[in-house]
Amino acid sequence: MSAIMKRHATAEILPAEPAPPAPALHKPEQQVMGRERNIGEVVLDLQNISLSFGGVKALTDISFNVKEHEIRAIIGPNGAGKSSMINVINGVYHPQKGSIVFHGVPRHSMHPSKVARQGIARTFQNIALFKGMTVLDNIMTGRNTKMHSGLLANAVWWGRARNEEMQHRRKVEEVIDFLEIQHIRKTPVGRLPYGLQKRVELARALAAEPSMLLLDEPMAGMNVEEKQDMCRFILDVNYQFGSTIVLIEHDMGVVMDISDRVVVLDYGKKIGDGTPEEVMNNPEVIKAYLGSSH
Ligand SMILES: Nc1ncnc2c1ncn2[C@@H]1O[C@H](COP(=O)(O)OP(=O)(O)OP(=O)(O)O)[C@@H](O)[C@H]1O
């Protein structure tokens, strides 16, 4: 297989032990890294999406879908349109053409905050955390979409506000335990190494209890060990929380090992879509990578 598609050493240490039995909601249909998982129906359907910035066509007539509980990767050379697609999904960009249906409901020009309230959370290519705030406080900001108490109640920390705060704290502590970052919970984020900052960003997204998680290059800039940890956490989030994951990643070994299906973009167009094996063997995909200087 082509050089870009070879399995990467990072994935070799992914959990080898047998996974616990999956909750028997659906018949297991897919296996990722030896884990049986239950892929459901289509939850996000994108049809004929086109997005331009002035004369630049970032996305041209792109259609694909995402099924419940799956790990769906978006790959492609630099400038292919991957981040633009994530920004379309979470409402930052509004495509000039095409339709977006989430859980059966068509969406038009939805604001990112409303998308977040629908249960879609994301991380960013360049870490977007409050560097001077502690890990705990940063993760608490992930609960914003779930907060209901008014300003006055919050200011004096009365009844409902107090109960709400405690509920949010409980959820945040769960996420902190899950991602094994107890030891840094009081540390200002800016003092942490890059790999841990990425994990805190994942924690903040998870604190929102999303049904769908958009991860924009979650392993970018990480060393091998950090990538191994992040792979394990992504698989655990998907497996234990059942979150559907849409992932942009440049490390092909990681993509091939953890994804259920992969969509491939090049110059804003879709050139491949299928299982890792199918896209690995797609001549157009191989050409785009090997023949690409961009
Ligand atoms: N806000 C914007 N304004 C103008 N052009 C943009 C904007 N966002 C993206 N583009 C352009 O759209 C095209 C796709 O960019 P995008 O960032 O989506 O690609 P990408 O596949 O995520 O690239 P990379 O892997 O380098 O992050 C590029 O030509 C880019 O310059």
pLDDT digits (tens, 9 = 90+) for 212-229: 999 999 998 888 888 999
Question: Measuring CA to CA, how many Å separate 204 from each of 8, 137, 176, 199, 200?
Answer: 28, 9, 9, 9, 6
Q: What is the pLDDT of residue 115?
A: 87
Same domain, 230 and 115: yes
Q: Choose the final residue of a domain: 169, 192, 209.
A: 209
Range of the domain at 218: 1-119+211-294
Same domain, 228 and 105: yes
Q: What is the pLDDT of residue 112?
A: 85
Same domain, 236 and 269: yes
Q: Whose CA is nearest to atom 28 of ligand 1?
A: 79
Note whether 175 and 183 are within 8 A (CB). no
Question: Measuring CA to CA, how many Å separate 124 from each of 83, 213, 214, 217?
Answer: 9, 11, 9, 7
Same domain, 154 and 219: no
Q: What is the DSSP string of 83-133?
A: HHHHHHHTTSS--SEEEEEETTEEE-S--HHHHHHTTEEEE-SS----TTS
Of 4, 60, 82, 293, the one to substitute when testing ligand 1's pocket (max ligand atoms within 8 A of C-beta) is 82
Same domain, 185 and 233: no
User: Would you say residue 11 has pLDDT above 50?
Assistant: no
Q: Which atom of ligand 1 is nearest to the CA of 76?
A: 21
Classified as helix, coil or strand, 243 is coil
| CA–CA distance, 259 with 70 (Å, rounded to integer) | 8
CA angle 21, 224, 246 (to 5 degrees): 55
pLDDT above 90 covers a percentage of the chain that reads 55
Q: Choose the final residue of a domain: 151, 178, 209.
A: 209
Q: Choose the final residue of a domain: 194, 209, 224.
A: 209
Model confidence at 2, pLDDT cuts 50, 70, 90, reads very low
Same domain, 1 and 77: yes
Within 10 A of 170 (CB to CB), how many other CB atoms are there?
A: 9
pLDDT in tens, 78-129: 999 999 999 999 999 999 999 999 999 998 777 888 888 889 999 887 777 8
What total of structural domains would you count in the chain?
A: 2
Domain of 201, CATH number, reads 3.40.50.300
| CA–CA distance, 2 with 292 (Å, rounded to integer) | 13
Q: What is the pLDDT of residue 81?
A: 97
Same domain, 107 and 136: no
Same domain, 231 and 265: yes
Same domain, 251 and 107: yes
In this prediction the ipTM stands at 0.96
Q: What is the DSSP string of 214-226?
A: EEESTTTT--HHH
| CA–CA distance, 167 with 169 (Å, rounded to integer) | 5
Model confidence at 155, pLDDT cuts 50, 70, 90, reads low
Distance 63 CA to ligand 1 centre (A): 18
Q: What is the pLDDT of residue 152?
A: 53
